[in-house]
Each structure stands twice: as C-alpha cells, then as structure tokens.
Chain A
Amino acid sequence: MDFQPHHLHGTFNLIDEEDEIFDYQMLYHSGEQWLTFRLGHETYGLEILQIRELISYPENITHVPRLPSFILGMINLRGLVLPIMDLRKRFEIAHFESGPFTVIIIVQIKTKVIGLVVDSVVDVVNLQDENKLEAPEESTGVNAKFVKGLANLRGEMVILLDLEQLLAPEELAQISMIR
C-alpha cells in the first residue's frame, strides 16, 4: 500500500478562513494530517487535504428524485449546489445517531465537491508511518475497496478511507443507474 508523505508548503486551504479549526503550526509537523470522525461504533479518517470545510446539518436538503437513499439530496452552499451523501447509509451502518454533533464534511476531489454526513468529528491527527497498519482483507464492515489502510492511534483503530475510490467515476455511475 502506498503511503507517500505529504510535503506541506503552507498553502493549505481550508476555504473558510474564519472557521479556524486547526492549529496552523500543526501543519508543519511531519507526517500526514487526518481528520477523524465517528460512524456508528467505529472511528474513520479522511486525509485533510481533501477536505474543504465542515458544516452543520443544514435546514433544508432538497430530495433528489429516483436516486438511492444514501444520496440525501442537494444543498446550496453559498451558491454552490452540491450533493449530500450519508456515509452511514452508504456503509450500511446499522446504528447511527443524528443529533447536535452530526456534521457534514465537505470534501473535494478535483472538481467534484460532495458533502458526507457523519455522526461526529473527533480530532485532527498527525499520522506517522509507524502508526499505520496494512488493511487486512475484510477486516472492517466497510467495503474493502474504500479502505486505504488502518492506523493505530493510542490503542484505537482508525479506518483510513480512500476518498478517490469512494467518489470514483464507476461508483458514481452506479449511483445514477440505480433507480
């Protein structure tokens, strides 16, 4: 598995500068920055460079006809219309909570922008290579192709998601085919 360390050059762009979620100094530490969040009983991680911003659960999500239920609908984010995917439904996590901590992580891969609903955000962590573990086949409830690897963080296992796989054209093509 491929773990290229990222070289950060201070041009890190969280888009919404007002939401200073992270200590900027942290960015210059070695290793990769990951955002960890909860889905059901598990902790997951997304690479921070793919995250645009975090928003709270919006008032109105416009339902999209004829799409599978894990696409909750579309929202207007300051003029940008983007789809919202409920990761809990996508991964068929049986018990999830919606509450004040429910958060939408807005991620971006190239021009694709999508919101991912998660139970709650946990932390921003530095992952050194020594924290990482190879993902064993079928180790988690999540479809193995969406898992980039695992990490051991102070004894807790974090499932590192492969966003590019999750938003891969063939995955998305499937979404639009489902009736």
Chain B
Amino acid sequence: MNLDTLPAEEFLEEAQELLQEIEEALLEIEENPHDRELVQRLFRSAHTLKGGAGMVGLAELADSAHEFEALLSKIRAGTLSVSPQTVSTLLKGRDDLLSLLNPLLGTSDIDSSSEQPQNAKVLAVETISDEKYSSKNVNSPPDSFIEKEKNVFLLHLHFDETCLQQGQEPMMLFRQLEPLGNITMIAHTSEIPNWETFDPTSLYLWWSIKLKSYKSKDEVEQLLEFFRGGQTRFSIEQIETPAENEEEVQEAHQKMLDQISASKPPEQLEIEESKILSEPITLGVTETSKTTQTIRVPVSRLDRLQNLVSETVIRQAQLLRLNDAIQATNDQLSEQFLQFVEDNEQAVRELQDQIQQVRMVPVGTIFTPMKRVVRDFASRNQKQIRLEIYGSETELDKTITEQIQGPLMHLLRNAMDHGLETPSQRQEVGKDLTGNISLRASQQQGFIVVEVSDDGRGLDPARILEAGRRLGLVANDQNPPEHEILQLIFQPGFTTAKEVTEISGRGVGMDAVKRDVEALLGNIEVNSEIGKGTTLRLKLPLSLAIIEGMLVRIGHEKFVIPLLLVTESLRPHPTQQKRFKNRGELIDIRDQYHPLVRLHQRLKIENAIEKPEEGLLIVVQQGSQKYCLLVDGIEDQLPVVIKSLEEHFIHIPGIAGATILGDGSVCFILDVAAILN
C-alpha cells in the first residue's frame, strides 16, 4: 500500500463523525421538517465532509458529498420538501457515503449489510430535476466562464486571529476562490499591532476581494461556509452587474478600491455586515467555537496516561505501608510523612477521576444509531415500532461503550424481530398496534445498567424447557425453576434450535452476547412475562481499568472478585446446606436454593477451608442465577487496577486479569463466569 495516498487519519475520523451527525440530523428532521437550523447543520456537515474529502484527495467521496449537499441545498431553498421519502433517500445517500469511506477504514458497516449498496449518483439523479446542482464541481471553472462572469461580489474576509494556530489556512480559501472567476485582492495591514504585542502565530491581516464570477451568491457563500467558525467574520456583497465597456469597468473598479481603502474598524464592519447581507449568516458560531476548544487524542495515549495514574495509585498504597516502618523509628517524621501521603492521595484520586472522566462518553453515542436501525427495520418488516431512549446522557468508558454496541444491537434486533408481534397479532390480543421498545441506561453505585425491553409476546418457559430437554441441556426428570429455564437461552447449543426461533427467537446468538458482556466483567440477566414482554438487563463496570473488587482469601492465596457480581456474603448454618440428587450441593438462603461452588476445588488450592460453616460464602449473580462461592474469608474491599494478562500470552482458565496489591504483590481477578461454566 502506498502510504502517500492514504488519507489523513484525522479526516477519516472526522468523516465518520460527520456521517454520524448527518444521520442523527436526518432522523431528527423527519420529526421536525421545518427546522431550518437542522437543515443548516446538515448542510454544514455535508460541506465539511466534501471539503475534507477534496483536501485528502478522495475525489469520489467529494463528488458524492457534493451531490448530497446539492440535495440539501434544494431543501434549504424550499424546492424540495422534507417527506419520509426524502429522508429515506438522504439516509441512503448517507450510507453510500459511508460505504465509500469503509474500505479506507478497514471496517464494514454492520447496519448496512442487509441493504443493497447503491450508488449515490443514481440516487441523486432520481430526485434532482434541477440540472444546476447535479454534477458540477464547485472548484472547476466552466470552459467559458469569461462569458458567464456576470456577477461581481465584494468580499471582506476577516479570519479568526487564532486560525493559523488551529490549522486553518486562508490561502486555501483564496485558492478555491481563484477558479471562480476574476479576482482582485487587497490585504489590509491596519490591524497589525506594534512589535511588543505582536504574536507571530496570530493572523492580523484581513482581506477584501473583488470577485467577478459566473457563480451565484449562494455558491460563493457555500465556499465561505467551510472556513467559518470562532471569531471569523466574512461578509459578502453583490455589487452591480459589470459594466459593458472598459472605461466603466475601470471606474467601477476604482470606486470599489476607494470603498475598500476607506475601510472601517472591524466592530463597525460587523454592524455593516448585517446591513449588507440580505440573509445574515450567523451559522452556529457557538457550536464551531466549541469545537475549536477540543483536541483529538488517540485513545492509546489515554490508556497510557491511565496506566501511569494506576501505577501512582498502587505506589500510594505502598507509601502507606512504608509509613508503618517509619513510625516504628520516628514518630514525628511519620506524622509528617503521613500528612504528605494523605495530601498526595487526594491529588492522585482527583487525577484518576479526571482521566477516567476524559475516557467517558455518553452512552447516547451508541443509542442514537439504534434509531436508524429501528426505522429501517420497521419500514422493511411492516411493523410499527416506537423506540424510547432513557438516560442517554449516562456516561461510560469509551472502550466499554464500543464493545457493548454489538451486543446491544443484537438485543435490539431480537426484540424487534422476535419480541414484538406483528400489528395484526397485537390487535388480536388487544395491544396498541405500535410496539414499544425501550433502551434505558442508568448509573448505580460503581456500575452501569443498560436495559433493552419490549412489550411483545414474552418468553414461554414451557417451550424453552421443552427445547432444552430435546437438546439435552436439561435432564428429563429435572424441573428447574423458571429463572433457570430462561437462562437456557444463553446456552451455546441453544442457538441452532429452530423451535426456539419460533417460540421467541431469543436464542439466536444470545450466548455470544453473554460472552461479550462477561468479557467486560459484566453480567446479563433476562426477565420475561408471557404476553407482557421481555427485558434484558446488562450490568457493566464503569471502567475497564479500575473496578471495585472484593479481596478474598482461599488457603494461602488471595483473589479479587468483581464487586458488581456480589450480592451478599454470609457464613451459613449447617442446616442451610442441602444436597439434592442431580443438583449437587445447595445452600438455602431465605428459602431460595443456590448452588454451592467450592472455589478451592475449582482452582485446585490446598489448605483451604472445606466446611462452609467455617468459611464464608460470597453470593454472586451470574445471569439471573445466584451461586454461593466458598472462600476462607474476606480480606478487603477496594478499587483494583486491572492488568490484562493477555499480553503475557498465557491464558489461565478462571482468571480474568491481575492487579497489584498495596504490598506490591500480584493478585488475580477471578473470571467468575468461566469458573461457573
């Protein structure tokens, strides 16, 4: 691969974001067809995409974006109304743009896999009757522009003082203006400060340009649009149609130059601007100025930062231990030292929080694309579906957010496809014809709960049990309680059973969803009621770097159990211990029977407590099922920094990762799901 031709990574990232914004705005505009701000937003995104694509040399993308933009300009001009069809066309156009981008990203879009990829050009031609927009590239002058250059514009270009620092380049705009026609330019030096306050990285020049062009005012403005933002002020004024003969031209020119050289200070100019412009351009100044204050940082750099902070957290604990030694020899010194450690602790915690904050993204970033999925699914399958989203502002670590997107999408598709009945079926049972699906995110102490629920037909335990028996997952003489039956849908073998799809279809890939969630040290739970609906509830840690852990002792060894899985701990009375045929050892907790799991046996650890009444039971939730893990005792409850063991290439069954304790020793984090399986 030729590296020179690879488009800038930043552009690819930006383009993805722009397409995401476009999709969101399109879905929004369907509900608010007359929202001018939305149209402007769409227009701006499309334009930025086009400009960026042009700059990195993606001609095809730039062309398609141009056509997309042309459609939008028709909406803006009011010649095309916003109907569901228009939105569908635009959404398809957006997908086509994405499909042009995907080969460069090395990814394929899971959303569009079911849809026929379509060429943006074909689509644009269908809907555009006005040839003016169809395929003309803004940047290329027409063959005979001299004859057509009938408009004269006076442009005052006042760039943001900091625009060079932000990587903007006025020259780029001039280059784009150049092919539009005949240009006369004046650079104003009046704002250059004296040398004492002169900052060489700031831009003090501003320009006036006379442009004779065949282009309309709108088209010139489109070009300017791309450079707006921050304190940038552009004004554009159409003066008169050019004079017929040379003399008049000279005269008009002189007049214009006079006008320019008598230029006013910028504040006044701005006031003037609103007079000059028939349509004042005040496009989203707040929004763009917001973007100038953010910087893109590779996630890997954040990972590195977080690792360093984690190191510091661990050292902090080591310092405290050191203090014990100091105290033994010098009380006064120890006191000072302790004070220092405590002050430092605060700063370190704050640092840790801040870095964690930086990594957090609102879960809405993955909820929003789901709207599109629902819209497409509903129109394709003649179902009426209302998607409700709650708590999209809930924040979650970026990596986790990315990793649950797939599983969530899966749950959503299941809910739409199999959970919800068809409108006619719903009518029969007297339900609202429109099915409801809700996505709900909330934060609870130290973890995040994400729920996907529908008001569809629900899971039928009897039929799941039947299928489970047929597949040999449940013995014929066994009659597990309902919550255990529902757990069967997460069994790997369950996916292939055709009957399941007919019952509810929840089996499809549910084992994969469960695996993904457990890989994040999370938990997935299913609740369902026949005829009422189904809810799948994901419990996830806030961060992958640091989790709340319970430090337990087994024999002479210590392990961490992720706290979000722990529901309680207890020392059982011998009478609570039961043994059932086929079901092994159970513990009776408030009339509920939970399987007893002897961790020392599973982990092959010697010298551990064998009798539950002498040790301690940690009750953990795995799916909807609870298990009692036998340990010797609880040592501590603490935030632990997760160190992945993957890079050390040795896979250890039952171990999810490692952490470093205050004394500097390594301690393993149990992979509870793997141990129970």
Contact = CB atoms under 8 A, between A and B. Distances in A.
Interface of A: 60, 62-67, 71, 73-76, 79, 81-83, 111-114, 167, 169, 172, 175-176
B571 interface: no
Given A74-B645, A169-B649, A176-B650, 7 more contacts: A60-B665, A64-B650, A65-B655, A65-B668, A66-B603, A81-B648, A167-B649
A64 B648 contact: no
A127 B262 CA distance: 83
Interface residues of B, number: 27
In this complex, the member of A74, A113, A167 whose beta carbon has the largest number of chain B beta carbons within 10 angstroms is A74
A111 B311 CA distance: 20
A66 to B, nearest CB: 6
B660 to A, nearest CB: 5
Contacts of A76: 660, 664-666
Contact of A82 (B605, B648, B652, B663): B648
A60 B661 CA distance: 12
B604 interface: yes
Contacts of B647: 111-112
The winner among A71, A75, A81 for most chain B CB atoms within 10 A is: A81
A166 to B, nearest CB: 12
Interface string B625-656: 00000000000000000010101111111110
The 9 closest A-B pairs by CB, nearest first: A62-B666, A65-B603, A176-B651, A74-B666, A60-B665, A81-B643, A79-B311, A81-B658, A76-B660
Nearest to A175: B650
A73 B667 CA distance: 10
B314 interface: yes
A12 B7 CA distance: 35
Nearest to B605: A65
Contacts of B654: 65-66
B557 interface: yes
A57 to B, nearest CB: 14
Contacts of A71: 650
A67 B650 contact: yes
B650 A172 contact: yes
27 contacts: A60-B664, A60-B666, A62-B557, A62-B665, A63-B557, A64-B650, A65-B654, A65-B655, A65-B668, A66-B653, A67-B650, A67-B652, A73-B666, A74-B645, A74-B658, A74-B666, A79-B307, A81-B645, A81-B648, A81-B660, A111-B647, A112-B649, A113-B648, A172-B650, A176-B650, A176-B652, A176-B653
B652 A64 contact: yes
B652 A75 contact: no
Given A76-B666, A79-B660, A81-B666, A65 B648 contact: no
Interface string B595-621: 000000001110000000000000000
B148 to A, nearest CB: 62
B547 to A, nearest CB: 16
A114 B655 contact: no
Interface in B562-612: 603-605
Nearest to A173: B651
Contacts of B665: 60, 62, 76
Contacts of A172: 649-650
Contact of B652 (A65, A79, A167): A65
The residue in A65, A66, A76, A113 that gathers the most chain B C-beta atoms within 10 A of its C-beta is A65
Contacts of B664: 60, 76
B453 to A, nearest CB: 39
Interface string B459-471: 0000000000000
A79 B314 contact: yes
A112 B648 contact: yes
Contacts of A65: 557, 603-605, 652, 654-655, 668
A64 B655 contact: yes
A76 B661 CA distance: 10
Interface in B531-567: 557
B597 to A, nearest CB: 14
A79 B643 CA distance: 9
A107 to B, nearest CB: 13
A2 B216 CA distance: 72
Contacts of B311: 79
Contacts of A67: 650, 652
A11 B535 CA distance: 59
A114 B310 CA distance: 22
Give the one of B307, B653, B665 with max A CB within 10 A. Answer: B665
Contact of A64 (B643, B660, B668): B668
Given A76-B664, A79-B311, A81-B643, A66 B649 contact: no
Nearest to B663: A60
A179 to B, nearest CB: 8
B653 A83 contact: no
B660 A114 contact: no
A158 B648 CA distance: 29
Contacts of A111: 647
Contacts of B557: 62-63, 65
Contacts of B653: 66, 176
Contacts of A66: 603-604, 652-654
Contacts of A113: 648
A63 B608 CA distance: 15
Contacts of B649: 112, 167, 169, 172
Contacts of B645: 74, 81
B666 A75 contact: yes
Nearest to B312: A79
B640 to A, nearest CB: 12
A158 B660 CA distance: 38
Nearest to B599: A65
Given A64-B655, A74-B658, A114 B666 contact: no
B554 to A, nearest CB: 9
